[in-house]
Amino acid sequence: MKKIILSFCLWLSVIPAVMAQDIITFKDGSDIEAKVFEVGTTEIAYKKYNNPDGPLYHTPISEVFRIVYENGETEVFGNSYSSSQIKLNAAGEITEGMKYSDYKHLYNARMYVHQPGDPYSRFWAGLASFFIPGLGECIDEQWGRGLLVMGINAGLYVLARTDATVTQSDGVTSIQYGNFGSIVTLVRFGFGIWSIYDAVHIAKIKNMYYQDLRSLQAGLDVKIEPYFAYTPAASGQFCTSNTLQPVAGLTMRVVF
């Protein structure tokens, strides 16, 4: 019986040497079985586990998420995924709670593609500004911009009426504008067209921003993987304190 127990202890001590390997997990989600020789300030030196006589590889630490060493110890270097790995509409970094003025320059409205759940309607914003310039911007929750457009439109209307002649004939009221009033009316008409475009443009940009926020929130991934390592065994009558025993379990990796 003692021989069997001693053989078992010897088998436990041999397994780590045979199966000794480090697991390098990169930020793109890939894993490599390796033997890590050096972890420097900027790079990691390692050899592939299945080719111990092969070349020595050098990988920047910025590309590595973590290393799980042969003894079960884990060293984490950074987030496993960055937001830049998720395809976004924005040309730069965005965060939740940004103001429209902070992110509008990051988007190209011509690249907008409608998605279910977009909070702003291009149709209703444009239609509102068709009847009342500035109302579409208010529907887009750009109240300051919308009220300013309404004020300018009202001012142009009053200015045009200063050069207008009102006549009535057979109960029909007609308004005739002079040269100045006609020019102001033409400017007001063009301003109304611009307001329609502006309301639709804002709706597109805001929708693209919220699409990106949904993409970032959906970028959370949970992965459960089997875990196997060796831990020191308790001292006993036959096994010394430096004997290792296999331990199996599950690990959960959360990817942002």
Q: What is the pLDDT of residues 169-179, one digit of tens each?
A: 777 878 888 89
pTM (two decimals): 0.54
The Cα–Cα gap between 226 and 254 comes to 14
Print the domain residue range for 47.
Answer: 2-81+219-255
Answer whether 120's CB lies under 8 Å from 206's CB: yes
CA 55 to chain centre: 37
DSSP H or E run through 148? helix 143-161
Q: Is there a single domain that holds both residue 192 and residue 149?
A: yes
Q: Is there a single domain that holds both residue 181 and residue 230?
A: no
Which alpha helices (DSSP H) does 177-227 contain, by range? 179-218
Three-state DSSP class for residue 180: helix
Q: Is there a single domain that holds both residue 123 and residue 143?
A: yes
For residue 157, give both structure tokens. Answer: 């209307």
pLDDT-derived band of residue 195, with 50, 70 and 90 as boundaries?
Answer: very high
Report the pLDDT value the prediction gives residue 127, as an integer from 0 to 100.
97
Q: Is there a single domain that holds both residue 149 and residue 241?
A: no
Q: Is there a single domain that holds both residue 214 and residue 225?
A: no
**CB under 8 Å to 155, separation ≥6 — which residues?**
none
Asked if the model's pLDDT at residue 219 lies above 50, the reply is yes
Q: Is there a single domain that holds both residue 142 and residue 181?
A: yes
Asked if the model's pLDDT at residue 241 lies above 60, the reply is no
Q: What is the pLDDT of residues 59-102, one digit of tens each?
A: 888 888 888 888 878 887 754 334 445 678 898 888 888 999 99
Asked if the model's pLDDT at residue 201 lies above 90, the reply is yes
Answer whether 205's CB lies under 8 Å from 145's CB: no
Q: Is there a single domain that holds both residue 69 and residue 89?
A: no
Report the pLDDT value the prediction gives residue 61, as an integer from 0 to 100.
84
Q: Is there a single domain that holds both residue 225 and residue 109?
A: no
Q: Is there a single domain that holds both residue 38 and residue 88?
A: no
> What's the mean pLDDT in 222-229?
51
Q: What is the pLDDT of residues 117-170, one digit of tens each?
A: 899 999 999 999 999 999 999 999 999 999 999 999 999 999 999 988 888 877
Q: Is there a single domain that holds both residue 193 and residue 142?
A: yes
Q: Within the chain, how many helices (H) and strands (E) appear?
A: 6, 10
For residue 57, give both structure tokens. Answer: 């590889």
Q: Is there a single domain that holds both residue 90 and residue 152?
A: yes
Q: How many domains does the chain have?
A: 2
For residue 38, give both structure tokens. Answer: 């050096």
Q: Is there a single domain that holds both residue 235 and residue 214?
A: no
- Average pLDDT of the chain is 80
